[in-house]
């Protein structure tokens, strides 16, 4: 990591109102598609988001797909017993990838399914609302990584102020979910993405380098 890398990553994640960043990473899409069979989907956020389901590969448990404050009586996230769930026993390619990714540890890693005709209603997921998240430095806290595994045509994610996120199968994005966003699956196929929430920790330098490298690849103009 260089000083310039840090400046780019800090500006992007902490100071700008960016829309999305496509990450310069590679993984075995065919293997990941096969491993979606292991998912044990449960409804994610109720009737306001019809057809939106989730299954934890890493988290509190397979069916505990929401934020940690929805479960248990922990007063701080450091006490939450995140772990690889039983689903991970059947997802070796996915587990291996995240063990090598520049996050030291993980909160949730989830399969996210949107059924045909389903929708994720407009909402925002701004960090800072949960205990211990005040005044976050996103380079320390980490950002969600959203990867399209099965992404049918006529299924679009709209990000307010930025437009439609250019998802394609096999592409990974950091999305600025502080902005209001929504997804509509107007196809006759289910959409399955993987979303990983992690903490850089001791791998922060590598995380910063990934952000800067991806930014340079996506943008020819200076920041």
What was the pLDDT predicted at 45?
83
Q: What is the 3-state secondary structure (H, E, C) of the chain?
A: CCHHHHHHHHHHHHHCCCCEEECCCCCCHHHHHHHHHHCCCEECCHHHCCCEEEEEEEECCCCCCCCHHHCCCCCCHHHCCCEECHHHHHCHHHHHHHHHCCCCEEEEEEEEEECCCCEEEEECCCCCCCCCCCCCCHHHHCCCEEEEEECCCCEEEEECCCEECCCCCCCEEEECCCCCEEEEECCCCCEEEEEEEEECHHHHHHHHHHHHHHHHHHCCCCC
What was the pLDDT predicted at 209?
98
Tell me: the pLDDT tens digits for 4-34?
Answer: 999 999 999 999 999 999 999 999 999 999 9
What was the pLDDT predicted at 169?
98
Q: Is the pLDDT of residue 131 over 60?
A: no
Residues 6+ apart with CB under 8 A from 182: 119, 120, 121, 122, 123, 157, 158
pLDDT band at 96 (very low <50, low <70, confident <90, very high): very high
Q: Is the pLDDT of residue 151 over 50?
A: yes
pLDDT band at 219 (very low <50, low <70, confident <90, very high): confident
Can you list the domains of the chain with their CATH numbers? 3-218 (2.60.120.330)
Q: Is 68 exposed, middle or buried (0-12, 13-18, 19+ CB in 10 A)?
A: buried
What was the pLDDT predicted at 52?
96
Q: Is the pLDDT of residue 133 over 70?
A: no
Least Cα distance to 122 among 180, 71, 65 occurs for 180
Question: Which residue did the predictor score with more confidence, 219 or 127?
Answer: 219
pTM above threshold 0.75: yes
Q: Which two tokens stand for residue 191?
A: 């959409």
What was the pLDDT predicted at 84?
98
What was the pLDDT predicted at 223?
44
Least Cα distance to 40 among 103, 95, 90, 99 occurs for 90
Tell me: the pLDDT tens digits for 21-78?
Answer: 999 999 999 999 999 999 999 999 878 899 999 999 999 999 999 999 999 889 999 9
């Amino acid at each position: 990591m260089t000083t310039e890398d840090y400046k780019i990553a800090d500006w992007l994640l902490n100071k700008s109102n960016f829309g999305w960043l496509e990450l310069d990473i590679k993984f075995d899409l065919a293997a990941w598609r096969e491993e979606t069979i292991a998912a044990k989907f449960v409804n994610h956020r109720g009737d306001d988001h019809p057809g939106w389901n989730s299954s934890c590969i890493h988290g509190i448990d397979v069916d505990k797909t929401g934020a940690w404050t929805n479960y248990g009586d922990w007063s701080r996230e450091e006490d939450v017993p995140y772990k690889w769930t039983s689903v991970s026993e059947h997802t070796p390619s996915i587990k291996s990838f995240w063990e090598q990714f520049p996050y030291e540890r993980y909160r949730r890693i989830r399969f996210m399914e949107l059924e045909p005709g389903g929708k994720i209603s407009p909402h925002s997921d701004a960090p800072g609302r949960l205990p211990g998240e005040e005044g976050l430095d996103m380079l320390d806290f980490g950002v969600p990584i959203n990867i399209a595994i099965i992404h049918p045509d006529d299924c679009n994610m709209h990000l307010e102020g930025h437009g439609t996120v250019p998802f394609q199968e096999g592409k990974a994005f950091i999305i600025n979910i502080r902005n209001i966003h929504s997804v509509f699956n107007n196809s006759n196929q289910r959409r399955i993405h993987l979303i990983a929430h992690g903490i850089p920790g001791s791998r922060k330098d590598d995380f910063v380098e990934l952000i800067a490298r991806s930014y340079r690849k996506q943008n020819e103009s200076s920041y």
